[in-house]
Structure formats: structure tokens, C-alpha cells
Chains A and B, each alone.
Chain A
Amino acid sequence: METVSCDVLIVGSGGAGLCAARAAAKAGADVLIAGKGKINRSGATLLAGADVSADIACAGEDLCKLGLRGNPDDTRESWYSDIVHEGFFLNDRDMVQLFVDTAGERVGDLVEAGVKLHNLEIGEREIGAAGHDILNTLWKAVRGCGNVRMREDITLCDLLTAKGRVCGALLLDINGGALVRVDAGAVVLATGGAHNCYTFTSGPSDLCGEGIAAALRAGARLVNMEMVTHCPGVMFAPQKHRGSILPYVFQCLNAGVDLNGAREPYLHKHLSPAMVRLALGSEWNKLLLCYAAYMEREATGGDEYGGLIYRVGMPGTPERAALEQKIPHLRQGNFGAMMDTHDQNGGLCVFPAAHYFDGGIQVNARMETTLQGLFAAGECTGGLFGANRVSAATTEMMVEGARAGLSAALFATQAGRGCCDQASMEAATQGVRAPVGREGGLTATAAKQAVKEAVSRHGGIVRTREGLEAGLRALDEIDLENIGVGKTGRYPGEWLDYLEARAMHTCGRSILRASLLREESRGVFIRGDCLFTDDDNWLRNVVEGPCGLETVPVAQGRIASPGGKRDYFDYLEGMLSKLSYYEG
């Protein structure tokens, strides 16, 4: 077996992985990045903000210090308070502090590295740039470091350990079809969310939760896996455009109207006037529009494709001209084709899709997991945004990536390169090779479909005890040990499917189990059978570790909940009035 050695192994090559690599390399570490796809063309970063404009946030005062336009009266403290309110008090406060304190530096790094700023979403505390440009800019910065090696098309099978310390990983080189052992001083997981646990997602096919699942198998903890943000305006049909969040960009610009299958407005049926205003005027629209869309399709069914409609101005109208001025490439390529379907069908066929994982691997503000030698950054982690992220996932990946890379480099310098126990290596290898050549009754691709089906149906926008229990039974019926994988060799698709099915099954089970335990609704998490937010009993994280599930109180710090239990929507409205940007 090929064996590679490095100080810091970084698994994942999106924004978090690249920022971690750069920070670790700057701290003097010899770094290896392992990307599941092409380094600057995979992960969720590529299509952030539909690749039109992803918001990159820091406190307005920090934007001004960078010489950029921002609100000089917007302080870090004000941003901290907003993030904790937006997160419904579940945020890890130390992580929020790190976030608001270092976001300005990271944004400065990105601007200095040459990212092209987009003028679409300039706000009081954010600037905008295209997803692919953010990724390319970070990639170029990493290539400028001398001590970073990169491997592409290589996927994580398992973490390797020695006496409880993580000291490497077993990878599968996809094109070669061969296992690769990496011995490392420290490992940073930057593998993104588990989007593909869901049938309908805005994420690329790479995101199957491999890092989250491997961390749990190795003995690390997961936090708040029940918190999954859906994005309301995602192309549902035609299939060619499925998954694009362009309609969401329109929703953020409040450029059109939300209609049901009969082309009638529906938001007012499910949201109060104050909430409709908020849904149409801020990034809170995600949570509110998803809820309304879900309720509307339950009540009236969808259009001919099973989705709902988002309609902007037709060609020739001033509304359309204004939109095309804001997004100039709306007439070209894929966007042009999408707008053609819009004009033919009287709107875009949209529905909410699984979009962002608020929960994930538990880390502290140094991005240390509960396992020695294991660090994590970006969307595969949980805690920073609590029960709801309103904006700034691109800032999250930069802040957490940079911190994780530094922590990992310092750890590796002190601990030296590791060498895993033979037992760990054997367990990892056997786990990966188990289905190969087995006469199985189940194909890996069928197992993946079954996981998606169970998680989508029962772990979506509105969940209930009954549904979650049914979903868990459905997952239990998927017997991964009954999966057979035929030929391996180069590009072993079935084997890859097995690895993905295994990760998705683990993550899906975590999502459903955590959802069942949390008997309330909070932020993006809505239990239809518990439509209240309960601060007396549920200012707690759901944590899954080697010993199972537990709930752990969240230290409240200086921005604390007053306590009490209230109707979910009343609570939401009350929360809004606490935000610095609330206009009543």
C-alpha cells in the first residue's frame, strides 16, 4: 500500500480546507491536502451564492478599517449579539467570539489575495464575491506556499489512531482504485456537510458526510446534527437545472413573488404580516420561506412537477431590466436557459432543498475536536451558529479553517508525526474492504437511495416523533453488511458508492436520532408535534459520542436567554426585535 507522510493532513479542499492549509503551511508545517474532487472545482464553496455573489461578512467597523464600505457604527459586539439571537441561544459563545474577532482579518486576507468584489450585496457588514472566485483566490494563495502538496480525486475512508490520538487517515485514490495510508502529526477535517443524505439538495455530489461519520467512528463527538438549514428558492425542475439556488438570489433581492402550483400567492396563509415582511427583507427568509413552502405543498400539492413557483418580471418589464442590470450574466449560458424556462412556464419551478449543516463535529474555539490530533473546520463542524445560520458561511470557513490549520500545525510540531496502531490500520482496512467480492443482496447505490428516502421524508423541514421513529426503522432496515461490491480496479464506482452509503447512513441516523431527542422547535429545527421553543429545558445541545446521545447545557454568557417556553412563532417574532437590523 502506498504510504505518505506529512505534518498536517487536511481532508477537504473547499474554502475551509484551503484556509487551513495556508495557515498550517505559514506556521511551518509540511501539509498534504486530500480533495475528493478537483481542488478548485469541488465542495460547496464553488457554488456559494449561486456563483453570483456569496456574502462575506465581518463587523462593519472592521470593513471600514479595511477601507471598504460598511457601517462604521456596527461593532463586533453588536454582531456577536445578532449571531447569538439568530442562533436561538445555542451558539458556542467562545466560537462566536473567535468569529467576530478574526473575521475582519480573514476578509482582509481574501481581499489582499485578489478576490474580485461584487457590488450586488454590499451591506452594512458584508461584501460579496462569486463562489468560484473565492475558491480560486484561496487556491492560488495555497499554491504560493512551498510546503503544501495536493492530491485530487482521493476520498476519506477512515481516520487512523494510536492510543487514542488521531495520527493519519486511510484514503482511497479514486482514479487508481488503490488505498493510500497517510501518517500525519495532525489531521484537519474540512469535508463539508452531509447534503447527499437528502434527495433534494443544493450541494454537489461530493458532500456525503464522510468526515463527520469518520470522526464519530473514531470516537469524536457530534453536536446538533438535527439542525439542517434548507434553502427555499432552489430549482426543482426541469431536472437539468435542479439544485441551482439562482431563484434564492432573486428571493434575497426580493425581485419576484412566491406562488403555489395554481400561480396564487401563499406566504400570507402560513406567516404573519410581520414575518412576511422579514421573510422578504432579510436573510431570515431561509427559515420562514421554507416553512411556508412546505406547508403550502402539503396543503395544495405542487405544480405539474411537484414544486412551487417563483416568478420575477417578464422580459420587457422594468423589473426584469433591473434584475438583468444587477446580474448581467442572467441572459447567458445556464442562467439564460433557466430564464427561458421561467418565461415559458410563467415562473421557475422551485422547492426548498437541504442546503447547510448547522450541526456537525464538535470543536472548541481552537478547532480541536474531543480527540487528540484531530481538528475540524467549516461546514463539517457544529456549534458556531447554534440553531440557525443567517449568513456568512464563507466567513465561517475562512475563520475556522485558518484557526484549525494553526492549531494543527502547533500540535504536530509538538507531538511529531504519528504512526497508527496496527489494530487501527487493520480495522480501517477491513471496514473498507468488507463488501468487496461479497455476494450481497443489496447494491450500494440502492442503499444510498434508501438512506436519502428515509432522511428526506422524515428529517426534512417539519418533523414529528412518529415520522422520525419510522425514519429510524427504515434506516435500521438498510443492512450495510449485505452490500456486495463487484469489480474494483480503476474508478471503482460501486466501492465509492459503498463508502458514501456508509457515511450517509451514519449521518442520517445522527440527524434523525438527534431530532427525536429534541422535543421542541428551535431555529431551523421544527417539530410539528412540538411547535414551541422551550428555553427552560432546551438551552441544550444534543451531543452524540462514543457512548451514545446526551444533552449538554449551553453556557449562556453575556447574551443570555431570559428563559421561558413560548409558541415557536411568537418566540421567533420576539427574537427579531432584539436584532440590531430589525426595522419593525
Chain B
Amino acid sequence: MEQISITVARSAGGEGYRQEYTVPMPVKGLSVMGALDWIHQNVDPTLAYFSHAACYQGSCGRCLVRVNGKTVLACNAEITGNALLLEPWNDKVIRDLVCEKPTDG
């Protein structure tokens, strides 16, 4: 089975650090959110990403993450290539990939 390497910029331990995970790609069409769920369920339950009220349909707009430098919705972003760098999408980091949402009206 094909595998991809996902590096996550984390902060859960206090100081920022990078952690690498290897994720199997069972079928095409795996999203970044799907990969994060897989890591969370199978490898590392301490990894924090926006997961507690996510629509998984590109509608709630809460699962923002920076993938290889570009900010996207994790649920909408299909994984291409075999190496990803995931980072928080803004500098107000709550934990790992979870950031404060912008204030809105």
C-alpha cells in the first residue's frame, strides 16, 4: 500500500516542534482531515486539530490548516504527492493545529 509522510508543526509540549507521521493511502481521495483522523485514531491521540464540531463537508469553515504553505480546509483538501507539511493557519495557536478563529460579525 502506498504511504505518505505527514509532518505536523506541533506545540502541545510547550515549545514548538515538528513530528512526522506515516499514513497509509488505502484509496484515492483521502483528504487532509481523513489523514489527521487516521493519525489521531491509530497513532497519536494527543495530536490536536479542529475536530470537535466539524462538518466534514466544506461548510463550517472551521478546519483551516496550512498545507505545504497554503491555507485550506482540511476536509476539502485532497492529498496529492507523498509528503505534506501541516502547520497552524494563523499565529494565534491554541494547540498544535488549532488556532483562534478570526473575530467576525
Contact = CB atoms under 8 A, between A and B. Distances in A.
25 contacts: A37-B54, A37-B60, A37-B62, A38-B60, A41-B59, A46-B55, A47-B57, A51-B57, A153-B52, A175-B94, A175-B98, A204-B53, A237-B27, A237-B29, A239-B31, A239-B34, A242-B56, A443-B45, A445-B40, A445-B45, A489-B95, A490-B95, A491-B48, A493-B46, A494-B45
B52 A155 contact: yes
A42 interface: yes
A38 B29 contact: no
Contacts of B47: 493
Interface residues of A, number: 43
Interface of B: 12, 27-31, 34, 40-41, 45-48, 51-62, 75-76, 78, 94-96, 98, 100-101
A491 B98 contact: yes
A241 B41 CA distance: 20
A51 B48 CA distance: 28
A239 B59 contact: no
Interface of A: 35-38, 41-42, 46-47, 51, 132, 153, 155, 174-175, 204-206, 237-244, 305, 333-334, 341, 443-446, 449, 486-487, 489-491, 493-494, 496-497
Contact of B54 (A204, A334, A493): A204
B40 A206 contact: no
Contact of B29 (A204, A240, A446, A496): A240
B27 A174 contact: no
A372 B22 CA distance: 52
Contacts of A155: 52
Q: In this complex, which of B12, B51, B52, B75 has the most chain A Cβ atoms within 10 angstroms of its Cβ?
A: B52
A449 B29 contact: no
Given A240-B29, A490-B94, A204 B55 contact: yes
Contacts of A445: 40-41, 45
A240 B31 contact: yes
A341 B27 CA distance: 13
A47 B59 contact: yes
A243 B56 CA distance: 8
B57 A42 contact: no
Given A46-B59, A237-B29, A37 B76 contact: no
A503 to B, nearest CB: 12
Contacts of A490: 94-95
Contacts of A238: 27-30, 78
A132 B59 CA distance: 8
Contact of B60 (A46, A242, A446): A46
Contacts of B12: 487
Given A41-B53, A47-B55, A334-B76, 10 more contacts: A36-B53, A46-B60, A47-B57, A132-B59, A204-B53, A204-B60, A205-B53, A205-B55, A238-B30, A240-B75
B95 A449 contact: no
A51 B59 contact: yes
A444 B34 contact: no
Contact of B53 (A37, A47, A241, A491): A37
B95 A204 contact: no
B30 A240 contact: yes
Q: In this complex, which of B30, B40, B55, B59 has the most chain A Cβ atoms within 10 angstroms of its Cβ?
A: B55
A239 B29 contact: yes
Given A38-B62, A487-B46, A305 B52 contact: no
Contacts of B100: 175
Contacts of B29: 237-241, 341
Contacts of B53: 35-38, 41-42, 153, 204-206
